[in-house]
Amino acid sequence: MNLRLALAVAVLLAVSLAIGPVDLLAIHARDPELARTLFLELRLPRTGLALAIGAGLGAAGTAAQALLRNPLASPDVLGPSSGAALGAVLAGYFLGFGIAGMALGSLAGAGGGLVLLLALAGRGASTTRLVLAGVAVATLFGVAINLALSLAPSPFALYDLMFWLMGSLADRTLPQLLVAAPLIGLGLVLLVRSGPALDTLTLGEEVAQTMGIALGQVRARVVIGVALVTGAGVAVAGSIGFVGLVVPHLVRPFVGHRPGAAIVPAALAGAALLLAADIAIRLLPSGLDLKLGVLTALIGAPFFLWLILKGR
């Protein structure tokens, strides 16, 4: 399965690098230096961010669902994404930090959101309590974001914040890729390393402890990993939702419903999904400015409702 997903990602990478508002081959025939600049400064960062953010969200959703043992857990549904957005808004638009500062603020917000969720839901939380805690955390951060929007220093900053919060990879630059990719990569390493322990955790916490699993370390790795991939993604691309919710359910049946074994396939599937969604946006007529976060929500929201109805 991993090989097929990797091949799909490779094909989508090639398509993403080839498709855009301008024909790089035609430009290269007239001005090779301009074509090279457009490729390095626009086309490559957009494709690289789609790959990294999609992989990070897919793995983060899988690890979060395994840690909380709840099929509705994901960074965007339960609060970390809202916390990351709030942290990035405060760091970038009110404290005047650059890209690196926004990334740090976003990481802090994502980690704070996840810790607050775990504190509210408590150990062994049911689906209902977990969703209610997630709604409470997301609402709290949403109110704070709306307050930040209302206090924006200028109308231009307000519009910029609103469009950024919708989630998009358009016009992203190489420095943004160079900031986000290492953080997401580190988060992926932490999540993948937690895979065997998450498989054991399906037997119950007491059984996992008797088998030598340090639950505190596992929780810390997953929380930090989810915060890294979510925070870095939100810092450079805004809120892109539902990838972490949908992807784990698509790949788990192919790995025997083992949550730890699903992390790597989920990362590949998340990358493929976000690459495909970004390619679809670029194929739309030029007058339609559909944001990537809106498209993923259109895909994921019905799936989320189906999961709730199935749980009844």
* Predicted local confidence at residue 7, as pLDDT: 94
Q: Is residue 27 over pLDDT 80? A: yes
Q: What is the mean pLDDT of the chain?
A: 84
* Predicted local confidence at residue 182, as pLDDT: 93
Could you tell me which residue, 311 or 108, shows the higher pLDDT? 108
Q: Is residue 1 one of the residues assigned to a domain?
A: no
pLDDT tens digits, residue range 172-216?
Answer: 889 889 989 999 999 999 999 998 988 888 777 778 778 878 877
Q: What is the mean pLDDT of residues 12-16?
A: 93
Q: Is residue 214 one of the residues assigned to a domain?
A: yes
Q: What is the mean pLDDT of residues 149-176?
A: 78
> Which of 245, 248, 253 lies closest to 301, judged by CA?
245
CA dihedral of residues 39, 41, 44, 47 (deg, nearest 10): -130
Using DSSP's 3-state secondary structure scheme, residue 204 falls into coil
Element (H, E) at 304: helix 292-311
* Domain around 281: 51-311
- The band of 77, judged by pLDDT with boundaries at 50, 70 and 90, is low
Q: Is residue 171 one of the residues assigned to a domain?
A: yes
| DSSP H helical ranges for 42-126 | 44-68, 75-78, 80-89, 99-121
pTM to 2 decimal places: 0.86
Q: Is residue 127 over pLDDT 60? A: no
Please count the CA atoms within 13 angstroms of the CA of 251 that sit on its side-chain side: 32
- The band of 142, judged by pLDDT with boundaries at 50, 70 and 90, is confident
Q: Is residue 82 over pLDDT 60? A: yes
- The band of 128, judged by pLDDT with boundaries at 50, 70 and 90, is low
Q: Is residue 31 one of the residues assigned to a domain?
A: no
Most confident of the ranges 20-29, 122-131, 132-141, 256-265: 256-265
Please report where in the chains the tokens 């054991």 appear, as a residue.
200
Q: Is residue 43 over pLDDT 60? A: yes
pLDDT tens digits, residue range 236-275?
Answer: 888 888 898 889 988 988 888 888 899 999 999 999 999 9
- The band of 46, judged by pLDDT with boundaries at 50, 70 and 90, is very high
Q: Compute the C-alpha angle 221/70/123, nearest 5°.
A: 65
* Predicted local confidence at residue 218, as pLDDT: 85
Q: Is residue 28 one of the residues assigned to a domain?
A: no
Element (H, E) at 38: helix 32-38
The secondary structure of the chain in percent helix, strand, coil, rounded to multiples of 5, reads 80, 0, 20
Q: Is residue 40 one of the residues assigned to a domain?
A: no
Q: Is residue 228 one of the residues assigned to a domain?
A: yes
Q: Is residue 52 over pLDDT 90? A: yes
- 125: domain CATH number is 1.10.3470.10
* Predicted local confidence at residue 155, as pLDDT: 66
Q: What is the mean pLDDT of residues 47-75?
A: 88
Q: Is residue 7 one of the residues assigned to a domain?
A: no
> Which of 80, 44, 290, 291 lies closest to 176, judged by CA?
44
Provide the domain count of the chain. 1
Q: What is the mean pLDDT of residues 48-73?
A: 89
